[in-house]
Amino acid sequence: MVVDAKGRVLDMGRAVRLATPAQRQAILARYATCYRDDCAIPADMCEIDHVKGWAEGGTTDLDLLAPACTWHNRDKAAHPERYCVRRNEDGTWTLLYLGKRGRFAGRFRR
């Protein structure tokens, strides 16, 4: 079990969907901005995204949460095929945009 310096649990599994205040605080210490690679929205103005979507069975564990601005969080939820995630050496995540055609790019090429 992962806990912070105050003993607060940082891995909630499927018990809660929304990040806890302790998780949010830990995430803000790791990220300066939205985790989309070219988005400059400050992390403290972001929502907390499940790197592996909640609807797909993702968990509310610190290691699988990242800050996403409202626009990127909603666009990723609505169009998951347009995004992929990269794990960085420091353990953080980067959200990469694949383009509007996403993984289907090329299907209609001649």
Our finding on whether 12 is near Zn ion (CB under 5 A) is no
State how far the Cα of 64 lies from the Cα of 101, in Å rounded to an integer.
26
Q: Residue from 20, 31, 36, 43 that binds Zn ion (CB under 5 A)?
A: 36
Question: What CA–CA distance (Å, rounded) separates 9 from 39?
Answer: 29
* Stretch near Zn ion under the rule CB under 5 A, chosen from 37-45, 59-67, 86-94, 99-107: 37-45
For 22-71, the DSSP string reads: HHHHHHHHH-SB-SBTT---BGGGSEEEESS-GGGT---BGGGEEEE-HH
Nearest distance from residue 53's CB to Zn ion, in Å? 16
Contacting Zn ion (CB under 5 A), which of 49, 72, 76, 83? 72
Cα-based angle 59, 61, 80 (whole degrees, multiple of 5):
50
With respect to Zn ion, which residue has the nearer C-beta, 81 or 104?
81
* Residue 39 lies near Zn ion (rule: CB under 5 A): yes
Footprint of Zn ion on this chain (CB under 5 A)?
34, 36, 39, 41, 69, 72
